[in-house]
């Protein structure tokens, strides 16, 4: 492929996806979800491959074995990306694909997979790895009369009825790619 960055930018434009580009070939796309309100996803066209990276959640506070087992069990059914940890233990969805995969249909499929894996697994992962924090947050909000809308998915943990309004979980802000050192890995 003669211009992978141009092909990637064209695919994103054709899909009508907004993006930020701090440098040519690196694109940050915001994928809106229902459970995880936003999954910030990097698409980076390197010299020899397309790198995909999306922040999923920070390292779990508790129940590590079940948390990681839950994510690893999903790996066998995933396309294009997989769950991985960065050096501090935060969880990402990452993938490396050939530059030939940069087409509008394949970028659409890949971003659709990132969104589906992030959104569909978010609530369960939080319940496994952050149950105590969720219970504390719920009690604090009840005590202060704060909205419980984005805690509705965790009713099994909090003992709450299903009548709170709203949906969703916590949004994650944009993070730069930091899981994989791309300075030499792209030459593989």
Domains of the chain, by residue range, sit at 1-121, 130-170
pTM of the model: 0.83
CA–CA separation, 57 and 150 (whole Å):
16
The answer to whether 10 and 102 are in contact (CB under 8 A) is: no
* The pLDDT value given to residue 42: 98
The pLDDT averaged over each successive group of 10 residues in the chain (188 residues) is 92 97 97 96 96 98 97 95 96 97 96 98 97 95 93 88 43 42 37
CA-CA distance, 73 to 93, in Å (whole number)? Answer: 14
Residue 127: CB partners within 8 Å, gap ≥ 6? Answer: 134, 154, 156, 157
pLDDT value of residue 185: 39
Q: What pLDDT shows up at residue 98?
A: 96
pLDDT of 161 reads 64
**What is the model's pLDDT at position 160?**
77
The whole-angstrom separation of Cα 28 and Cα 30 is 7
Class of domain 1-121 as given by CATH: alpha beta
**Cβ pair 1, 97 in contact under 8 A:** no
The two tokens of residue 26 are: 């690196």
């Amino acid at each position: 492929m003669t211009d992978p960055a141009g092909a990637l930018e064209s695919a994103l434009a054709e899909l009508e996806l907004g993006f930020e580009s701090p440098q040519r070939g690196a694109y940050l796309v915001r994928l809106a979800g229902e459970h995880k309100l936003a999954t910030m996803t990097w698409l980076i066209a390197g010299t020899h491959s397309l790198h995909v990276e999306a922040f999923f959640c920070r390292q779990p506070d508790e129940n590590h074995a079940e948390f990681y087992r839950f994510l690893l069990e999903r790996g066998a059914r995933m396309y294009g990306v997989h769950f991985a940890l960065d050096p501090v233990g935060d969880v990402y969805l990452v993938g490396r694909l050939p530059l030939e995969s940069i087409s509008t249909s394949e970028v659409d499929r890949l971003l659709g997979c990132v969104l589906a894996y992030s959104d569909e697994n978010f609530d369960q992962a939080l319940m496994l790895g952050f149950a105590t924090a969720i219970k504390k947050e719920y009690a604090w909000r009840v005590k202060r009369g704060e909205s419980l809308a984005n805690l509705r998915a965790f009713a099994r943990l909090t003992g709450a009825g299903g009548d709170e309004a709203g949906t969703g979980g916590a949004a994650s802000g944009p993070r730069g790619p930091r899981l994989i050192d791309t300075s030499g890995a792209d030459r593989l």
